[in-house]
Structure 1
Amino acid sequence: MSAGPTEAQVAQAAQALARGELVAFPTETVYGLGADAEQPQAVRRIYAAKGRPADHPVIVHVAPEADLAYWSGAVPPQARQLAQAFWPGPLTLILPRAPHIDPTVSAGQDSIGLRCPSHPVAQALLRAFAAGKPGGQGGVAAPSANKFGQVSPTRAAHVRAEFPDQVAAGMLVLDGGDAQVGIESTIVDLSRLDRGVGPVLLRPGHIGAQALAQALGMPVSAPDAAAPRVSGSLKAHYAPRTPLAVLDAARLQALAQGQGLPAGRSVLVCYEPPSLAPAAAGRLAVRAVPADPGRYAQSLYAVLRELDLLGYDRILVQAPPRTPQWEAVNDRIGRAAAAFEG
């Protein structure tokens, strides 16, 4: 477990952000690749480093003291309700973007994604950075610190492995230990309430639809075709480099008996490890993961990165239950598998 960066290291990182440089830092969800949200050229450096499409917006991270009205031209009561209930925490709010905020962070859209992370290192960095801004309202644009479409990093070592050239050139990586949530934040669209649309759950996460509805006193809707573009909303995303497929119970049992095994070496990621028949034992490895949805999510990306390094020909994942508690995990592994379909 990392002891965490010193106050001097956090100050150094805040100064680097102010100069328009990139800084990787931990949040409770995953590690982010950050830049000053109000320096368009710095934000473009994120896109270049990740290989991120220019039409894919990034999320702005703010300190707990941040004024939402600085970032959004219209802050609805529902935004303040959710912020009071879940911030600091793994929730991103999509709001109308204030006119003075450059549209680069929103990929040209009139909306903006805002989040206040709970990780103490993230909070220390955001506070130190904002303190150097007029009015103390600085924000850090930060998608996950990985190449676009790949598995998000949940450890500082993952970031260093993903961006060796940038690290060698001096990019700072603040080490805050393992991410405790392990998957990206829940995203809720509140940008269209004035048109009678929303709240809309655009990306499931650690905070589920039921908890959101309880805090709001109203249900949240499923994504619609006119919803703003947001991080992690593409069909194929969160993918390891090794081909990945999701297996139902019947297919899993057949493979465990050695029936229909694909060529090469495969590894089965499962929360209910089966007994392998002799015909399968030599060609199918088993990697057990927690049966609890929260612990499964926390370990998922680290497991996928570990298996990527072991030379398997494919990763086969046991399909989790189709229950609300597993919605975010099903979303992530479904998008990972979609990267190898067709």
Structure 2
Amino acid sequence: MEGLSGAGLLKATQTLSLTDVQGRSTAARWLKQGKLVAIPTETVYGLAASAANGDAVKGVFTAKGRPLDHPLILHVATVEQLDGWVAHISDQARTLMDAFWPGPLTLILPRHPEASDLITAGKDTIAVRMPADPLLREILSNCGPVVAPSANPHKKISPTSARQVLQGLDGRIDAVVDGGPCTLGLESTILDVCHQPPRILRAGPLFADQLSEVLGQTVLTPEQHSVSVAGNMPAHYQPNTPAQLMARATLVEALAQIEADQHRPVVLHYSAIDLAPDVIAKALPNQRRDYARQLYDAMAWADSQAGGEIWIERPPLAWLEVQDRLQRACYRE
């Protein structure tokens, strides 16, 4: 990748503004030149590279420390930009695009024969989505399709602000486009429409009942699967501090049993819990979408508090997208 030294580090990562015309122009130009630029989406910040530049795409894997056998998601500004990447778009896929694009829906479609194996991990499908922000789509219109996995070191907490991107990747990428905090805060829903009936491969901001209503048929939500898609690893979205997911009763009991000389945990909770004055804690919203939007930011905050562990109160089991992220964040070998 242009700008990388032999050690794989840049001098510094520059910050551009999404709301500034010059910032968007610079971001598009640098992406066309093969540079790595973190971009804000409605879900999380993504580490973008021109999909047409193989060296730049490899740079994404290097900067993140991401294994090469993990497929990437192609981000486009228009459906027309899928030409040369997708073999064909079914009526079912077009119905979903009309209903949910631009937005937090990634579709698994048949790949075009010329689509890069580096992006698809050699699979016969490709993951594609159109982000919601019109200013970001302006950048993509000018630079062409990009790959954009979350802009964080592999398996670590996904960033929902430019500051968090810099905390994880400063010196490893060329720039971050600051678009403020992400409005949704969790990665997109991944839906496989090559499989019938369609199935959700990663839970996200769009739910099965919403997708089923538009399609007029049942959309499956497998609890576990072995399909290689973004985010489907047992350990993922993890803070550096060990984290435990606890039912409310278990958390309350554990807090009551903390000994005087025990290193205090940092607690993330959403229900009312009596806490000792010396316990560092943050209350998360008790509404599903608000909780999801604040989750990664709260985890990053908890990670910065130098606690012995992070104890997280388990939210309702019906919040599948949240449960998915928390289970992977708390997974231990």
TM-score normalised by structure 2 residue count: 0.90
Residue among 181, 185, 189 paired with 1:186: 189
Equivalent residue for 1:291?
286
User: What is the Cα deviation at residue 251 of structure 1?
Assistant: 0.3
**Contact 2:81-2:145 at 8 Å conserved across structures:** no
Residue by residue, what CA displacement relative to the aligned partner does 1:91-132 show, whole Å, maximum 9, x if unpaired? 100111101211211111111110000023321211121xxx
Equivalent residue for 1:135?
none
Residue by residue, what CA displacement relative to the aligned partner does 1:172-217 show, whole Å, maximum 9, x if unpaired? 211100000001000001234xxxx331100000000110111111
Equivalent residue for 1:143?
149
Q: Which has the higher helix share?
A: 1
Q: d(CA) in 1 for partners of 2:249 and 2:39?
A: 42
Structure 2 counterpart of 1:178, one-letter code: P
Equivalent residue for 1:329?
322
Task: State the SS of the aligned residue for 2:330.
Answer: helix
Q: d(CA) in 1 for partners of 2:81 and 2:171?
A: 36
**Equivalent residues in 2 for 1:175-254 (5 A)?**
175-192=178-195, 197-223=196-222, 228-254=227-253
**Equivalent residues in 2 for 1:1-342 (5 A)?**
4-129=18-143, 138-166=144-172, 171-192=174-195, 197-223=196-222, 228-258=227-257, 263-276=262-275, 280-282=276-278, 284-323=279-318, 326-338=319-331, 341-342=332-333
Task: State the SS of the aligned residue for 1:301.
Answer: helix
| Change beyond 3 A, Cα 1:224–1:191 | farther
Q: d(CA) in 2 for partners of 1:38 and 1:227?
A: 28
Identify unmatched segments of 5+ residues in structure 1: 130-137
Number of residues of Structure 1 aligned to a counterpart in Structure 2:
318
User: What is the Cα deviation at residue 5 of structure 1?
Assistant: 3.5
Residue by residue, what CA displacement relative to the aligned partner does 1:224-265 show, whole Å, maximum 9, x if unpaired? 988641100111111111111100122022134336899411
Q: d(CA) in 1 for partners of 2:261 and 2:313?
A: 16
Q: d(CA) in 2 for partners of 1:92 and 1:142?
A: 12
**Contact 1:94-1:112 at 8 Å conserved across structures:** yes
> RMSD between aligned alpha carbons?
2.1
| Change beyond 3 A, Cα 1:329–1:261 | farther
Q: d(CA) in 1 for partners of 2:92 and 2:159?
A: 31
Q: d(CA) in 2 for partners of 1:262 and 1:112?
A: 53
User: What is the Cα deviation at residue 24 of structure 1?
Assistant: 0.7
Identify unmatched segments of 5+ residues in structure 2: 1-15
Q: d(CA) in 2 for partners of 1:331 and 1:37?
A: 28
Q: d(CA) in 2 for partners of 1:108 and 1:215?
A: 31
Q: d(CA) in 2 for partners of 1:173 and 1:259?
A: 42
Structure 2 counterpart of 1:181, one-letter code: L
TM-score normalised by structure 1 residue count: 0.88
Task: State the SS of the aligned residue for 1:113.
Answer: strand
| Change beyond 3 A, Cα 1:4–1:118 | same
Task: State the SS of the aligned residue for 1:165.
Answer: coil
User: What is the Cα deviation at residue 220 of structure 1?
Assistant: 1.4
Q: d(CA) in 2 for partners of 1:6 and 1:119?
A: 14
**Contact 1:25-1:121 at 8 Å conserved across structures:** no
User: What is the Cα deviation at residue 13 of structure 1?
Assistant: 1.1
Structure 2 counterpart of 1:327, one-letter code: L
Task: State the SS of the aligned residue for 1:66.
Answer: helix
Q: d(CA) in 2 for partners of 1:229 and 1:337?
A: 21
Percent identity for Structure 1 against Structure 2: 38
Q: Tell me which moved more, 217-226 or 306-315.
A: 217-226
Q: d(CA) in 2 for partners of 1:121 and 1:99?
A: 31
